[in-house]
C-alpha cells in the first residue's frame, strides 16, 4: 500500500503539461488487436491502467515496445488461452478487449472485469450489442463467453449512454460486412479519438461527435500511427487544484472544446481562468461562489470530475448541489471530506449538498477510487497541517506521477510505500 503525506497551505504556481488521455489510450491500444500490422501510438500516458492493458496485450501474444509515451504494438498471433486472468479481473477497461477479439478470432472466453468501486456497472449493454451484431453471448458471475463465426452489420440501439459499450461496438463493427448504425452512442472526446484512430486504420465511420454513429465494415484494417488527445479530466483536476489553493498555474496542451461546460461551470463558480490557444491559465480568484454540478453524458459535465468539483464546493460561498445520477457509489469521498472539516450532507446515493467556505484540517484518511483519490489530494493541499492518504496507489491508475508533478508546482507532498 502507498501513502501520500501532504503539508497543506501552499498555493500551486507554475506550468504543467497535460498528459495523454487515459480514457482514450485504453480503447485505442485495445483496437490494435484488430490488425496484424504494426501500430504506433504516441502521447500514451504512463499510468497503471495503461501498463496493465499493455501487459494483457503481451499475454495475448502481441509484441509491445514502449519508448516513453510512444508505444508500438504488433498483434500477429493471438493466444487467448494465455490471457492474464488476474489482470483482467483487476481493471474495468479490460472489457474493451471483447470487441476487437470477437472481430479478430470469433470466440472469446474471459473473466468478468474488475475496476474501481463506484457503483454497479453491468456489461449487459455490451452483450446485447454483440448479439445484435450476430454473436451468441453468455455470462455468469465468473466468465464471459462470446462466439460469432461471422459478425454482421446491425442497427444497435442502446437503452442509455455507455462509453465502453459504444467503443466495443465500434471495434466489432469496423470489419463486419454491411453498414451498422449505433443509436444513443456516447460522444465523449475519447470515443471520438477512438473513431479517428480506427479511421487511420482504414475503418469507415461517420457521425463522430454525435449520438448516432454509422460504421461501414471493411474487409481488413491495417496498421497506423496516431497521437492520443490530451486528457480533459486531468486538465480539469489540475485546474481545480490551482483554483482551490489560490495559485497561478498554466496548463499546457489543453483542448478547450473538450471542456466547454467544465470551463463554463468553473467560471460560474468564480474561478479566474483564461484560455490562450491550447493553454488554460488559472489565477487567484477574488471569491469562489456556490454552484450546481450534475454529471451527464458528453457534452455534459463528466462524472470523472464530480469529486474534484466537490472539494471546490467546500471553498465556495453558499450551498452547492453535486448530483451524479450515473453511478451510485461515487460519493464515498464525502465522508473523508467531512473528516477534514467539510460541511456536507449526503441526501441520497446520488446527491450531496456542500456548504462553504469551510477551513479544512489535516487528517488521516483513505482513497476509495481513482477520482476520489485525486480529490482528496486537492483537499490535502488546502488543509491546514498534515494530511495522510492511504491507498494512494489508486491514483496511479489515471494520473501520471501526480506527486512529482504537484511538487513542480510547489506542493509539499511525498509518497511512502508500506
N-term to C-term CA, the chain: 5
281: left (phi over 0), alpha (psi -120 to 50) or beta: beta
CB neighbourhood size of 91 (10 A) = 21
Tell me which residues are annotated as active site.
116
Say if residues 242 and 12 touch (Cβ distance below 8 Å).
yes
Q: For the chain, what is the largest distance between any 2 Cα atoms, rounded to a whole number of angstroms?
A: 63
| 64's grid cell | 509491445
Q: Report d(CA 352, CA 118) in Å as an integer.
A: 15
Give 354's strand partners: 320, 344
Q: Return the residue matching grid coordinates 489543453.
A: 254
- C-alpha distances in Å from residue 30, one per residue of 189, 233, 271, 289, 418: 17, 21, 37, 42, 33
H/E element holding 50? Answer: helix 48-59
233: three-class secondary structure by DSSP: helix
H/E element holding 335? Answer: helix 333-340
322: three-class secondary structure by DSSP: strand
* Closest-CA residue to 295 (of 193, 244, 371, 203): 371
DSSP state of 328: S
Q: CA-CA-CA-CA torsion for 384, 389, 394, 396, nearest 10 degrees?
A: 60
* Closest-CA residue to 238 (of 291, 312, 326): 312
H/E element holding 179? Answer: strand 179-183
Q: Mark out the alpha helices in 158-231 (DSSP H runs).
A: 163-173, 189-200
Sequence-ordered list of residues with C-beta below 8 angstroms from that of 124, at least 6 positions apart, any chain: none
| 120's grid cell | 454497479
Say if residues 20 and 69 touch (Cβ distance below 8 Å).
yes
Amino acid at each position: 500500500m502507498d501513502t501520500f503525506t501532504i503539508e497543506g497551505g501552499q498555493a500551486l504556481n507554475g506550468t504543467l503539461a497535460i498528459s495523454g488521455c487515459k480514457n482514450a489510450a485504453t480503447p485505442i491500444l485495445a483496437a490494435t488487436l484488430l490488425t496484424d500490422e504494426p501500430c504506433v501510438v504516441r502521447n500514451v500516458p504512463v499510468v497503471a491502467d495503461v501498463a496493465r492493458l499493455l501487459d494483457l496485450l503481451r499475454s495475448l501474444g502481441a509484441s509491445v515496445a514502449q519508448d516513453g509515451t510512444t508505444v508500438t504494438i504488433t498483434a500477429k498471433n493471438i493466444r487467448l488461452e494465455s490471457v492474464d486472468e488476474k489482470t483482467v479481473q483487476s481493471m474495468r477497461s479490460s472489457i474493451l478487449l471483447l470487441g476487437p477479439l470477437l472481430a479478430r478470432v470469433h470466440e472469446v472466453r474471459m473473466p468478468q472485469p474488475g475496476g474501481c468501486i463506484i457503483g454497479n456497472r453491468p456489461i449487459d449493454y455490451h452483450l446485447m450489442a454483440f448479439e445484435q451484431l450476430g454473436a451468441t453471448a453468455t455470462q455468469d458471475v465468473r466468465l464471459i463467453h462470446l462466439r460469432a463465426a461471422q459478425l454482421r452489420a446491425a442497427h444497435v440501439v442502446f437503452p442509455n449512454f455507455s462509453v465502453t459499450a459504444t467503443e466495443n461496438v465500434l471495434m466489432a463493427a469496423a470489419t463486419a460486412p454491411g453498414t451498422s448504425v449505433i443509436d444513443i452512442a456516447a460522444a465523449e472526446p475519447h470515443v471520438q479519438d477512438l473513431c479517428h484512430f480506427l479511421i487511420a486504420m482504414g475503418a469507415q465511420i461517420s457521425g463522430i461527435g454525435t449520438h448516432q454513429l454509422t460504421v461501414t465494415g471493411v474487409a481488413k484494417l491495417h496498421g497506423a500511427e496516431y497521437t492520443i488527445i490530451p486528457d480533459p479530466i486531468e486538465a480539469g483536476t489540475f485546474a481545480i487544484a490551482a483554483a482551490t489553493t489560490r495559485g497561478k498555474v498554466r496548463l499546457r496542451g489543453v483542448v478547450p472544446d473538450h471542456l466547454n461546460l467544465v470551463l463554463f461551470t468553473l467560471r460560474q463558480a468564480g474561478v479566474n481562468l483564461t484560455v490562450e490557444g491550447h493553454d488554460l491559465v488559472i489565477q487567484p480568484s477574488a471569491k469562489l461562489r456556490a454552484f450546481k454540478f450534475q454529471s451527464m453524458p458528453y457534452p455534459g459535465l463528466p462524472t470523472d470530475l464530480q469529486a474534484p468539483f466537490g472539494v471546490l464546493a467546500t471553498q465556495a460561498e453558499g450551498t452547492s448541489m453535486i448530483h451524479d445520477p450515473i453511478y451510485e457509489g461515487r460519493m464515498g469521498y464525502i465522508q473523508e471530506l467531512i473528516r477534514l472539516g467539510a460541511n456536507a450532507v449526503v441526501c441520497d446515493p446520488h446527491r450531496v449538498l456542500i456548504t462553504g467556505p469551510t477551513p479544512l484540517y489535516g487528517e488521516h484518511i483513505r482513497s476509495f477510487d481513482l477520482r476520489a483519490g485525486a480529490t482528496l489530494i486537492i483537499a490535502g493541499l488546502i488543509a491546514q497541517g498534515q494530511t495522510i492518504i492511504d491507498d494512494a496507489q489508486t491514483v496511479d491508475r489515471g494520473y501520471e506521477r501526480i506527486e512529482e508533478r504537484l511538487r513542480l508546482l510547489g506542493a509539499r507532498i511525498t509518497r511512502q510505500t508500506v
